[in-house]
Amino acid sequence: MECPERISCVLFDFDGVIVDTEPIGLELDREAYSKLGVEVSFEDAMCIIGTDAQGVVADLFKRHGRPDLTPEDFHAQRQSADVIYETLLEAPMPGAEEALSALRERGIAVGLVSTTIAKNLLVALDRLHLLHYFDAIVGGDMVAHKKPAPDPWLAALGHLGANRANAIAVDDSPTGIRSAKNAELFVCGFKGGSIEQDTSNANVEVANFAEFIAFIDERNARG
């Protein structure tokens, strides 16, 4: 997918982009594995990022010699993700609010596309005073098929009435990037979170939000 000549819509992933929740979630995951007698490294646990967990958890149990365990066993031991969004999350990603404000000033539509359920997205955005920056929000429970399917991104475009030819996606995980590409979107790989992920499949990579806004401005100045 070619980069739009003029970018008029930006669709953001949430976890690992707008907020740095992934280290918190991975520690909750490892705690659940440990309760089941499976010791999983932080790096190994990272395979769950950007997915709905089911198949990934089953494969992880098999690789650790415990095919008798199921994703249901994992979820029964894992503390609810709600606690991250309702209590543990204290601030947005550095530069996120400034970038969202800059997009608003430039008249660019902003959407949120996440595997996280909508309730938790709304709770977190409200707590962090970011809700008003988003024109559309699509949670994982709002689509029939989650990432890596293209459905969440396409749903957001539909809610915004936006043309994908003028939109870009921003994601930090291989799964999310593949999902956005499946939706035929130009994809920006975000590398500003505390967990390093492979974003090499993205069309362009940015180290932080300042670099991202500079990319938007440079592209729109040409268009």
Domain boundary among 53, 68, 86: 86
Where are the extended beta strands (E) located within 76-158?
Answer: 109-113, 136-138
Q: Calculate the alpha carbon distances from 208 to 29, 84, 172, 192, 205 in Å.
A: 27, 23, 11, 5, 9
In a domain, 4, yes or no: no
Average pLDDT over residues 161-170: 97
In a domain, 1, yes or no: no
Average pLDDT over residues 155-176: 97
Q: pTM of whole model > 0.95?
A: no
**Residue 62 shares a structural domain with residue 101:** no
The answer on pLDDT for 17 being more than 80 is: yes
Q: What is the token pair recorded at 153?
A: 């991104």
**Residue 78 shares a structural domain with residue 136:** no
What's the pLDDT tens digit per position in 23-69?
888 888 889 889 999 887 777 777 776 666 667 788 888 888 899 98
**Residue 188 shares a structural domain with residue 113:** yes
Domain count, the chain: 2
**Residue 30 shares a structural domain with residue 81:** yes
Note down the domain range covering 43: 22-86
Domain boundary among 41, 65, 86: 86
Domain boundary among 31, 57, 86: 86
What is the predicted pLDDT for the residue at 145? 95
The answer to whether the beta carbons of residues 154 and 145 sit under 8 Å apart is: no
